[in-house]
Amino acid sequence: MMTPSLPRRLAAEAVGTALLAAVLIGSGIQSAALSADGGMRFAANVLASVLALAVLIALLAPVSGAHFNPLVSAAVWWTERRSGTGLTLRELGGYVAAQLLGAVAGAGLANTMFERPFLELSGRQRSAGHLWLAEAVATGVLILLVFGLLRAGHGGWAPVAVAGWIGAACWGTSSGSFANPALTVGRALSDSYTGIAPGSVPAFVLAQCVGAAAGLALVAVLFGRSRDRVPDDARELLVR
């Protein structure tokens, strides 16, 4: 199969990230309006988000790899930088820009659909050591999962496995598993249930970066430093 053009791949990353952000933020607004029970609100928000993530990965993986996350894109570049089959630095920059723009657009779309200002800064402070640790764990396991699946030749399980881990991590970590710098920025632009104050964003993103680095190190420990041969259909999920 021919590799889609870079503009098409960037469009897929922007659209996918925007729709994911819109569902994540919109379901948070909707659940907060419909239920006073905190557990019900959280369950509804998590369910909508993981369903959207699985569907969007399945839909857009053949186009761009369906990263929707700057750290996944950066890990693809890093692991394939010597093989010539992954992203170039130029493509990585395009992917990250598309994901960030998509997250901002998705936040604005969610706000607008619920009669809020297109963009509004969140006042929800999330700043504590245990939250940063949780973000590192959630992100590290996400990277381990994605690249472990690829090296094991099970890349076709990515839509279900990634959505499954994010859903589990939402419940099993104190931060709620943002695990994505682009979505973290998008969530800072909605003063709603799923928001994060802009001042809390840098530490969250730094923790996510540390977690991603740890995840890549675990991939090397558990699966070896040299990439095993992976079937072409599995490689298509992340490398184009």
pLDDT band at 161 (very low <50, low <70, confident <90, very high): very high
* Residue closest to 178 by CA, chosen among 110, 122, 128, 131: 131
83, 156 contact by CB (below 8 A)? no
211, 135 contact by CB (below 8 A)? yes
Per-residue pLDDT of 145-156, as tens digits, reads 999 999 988 989
Average pLDDT over the chain reads: 92
Per-residue pLDDT of 180-204, as tens digits, reads 999 999 999 999 999 999 999 999 9
Q: Cα separation of 42 and 186, whole Å?
A: 18
* Residue closest to 61 by CA, chosen among 14, 13, 98, 20: 13
Q: Cα separation of 58 and 124, whole Å?
A: 32
Per-residue pLDDT of 40-78, as tens digits, reads 999 999 999 999 999 999 999 999 999 999 999 999 999
20, 52 contact by CB (below 8 A)? yes
Could you give the angle at the alpha carbon of 128 between the alpha carbons of 143 and 23, nearest 5°? Answer: 55
Task: Supply the DSSP symbol for 197.
Answer: -
Largest interatomic CA distance in the chain: 53
Q: What is the dihedral of CA 143, 82, 4, 92, to 10 degrees?
A: 60
CB hemisphere CA count around 84 (13 angstroms): 0
pLDDT band at 81 (very low <50, low <70, confident <90, very high): confident
For the chain, where are the alpha helices, taking DSSP H only?
6-34, 38-64, 70-80, 89-113, 129-151, 158-172, 181-187, 201-223, 232-235
Q: Would you state the structure tokens that stand for residue 240, as one six-digit string? A: 């184009």
Q: Which domains does the chain have, with CATH numbers?
A: 6-235 (1.20.1080.10)
Q: Would you state the structure tokens that stand for residue 60, as one six-digit string? A: 């857009």
pLDDT band at 1 (very low <50, low <70, confident <90, very high): low
Stated pTM of the model: 0.91
* Residue closest to 4 by CA, chosen among 106, 104, 94: 94
52, 215 contact by CB (below 8 A)? no
Its sign, for the CA torsion 31, 33, 39, 42, is positive
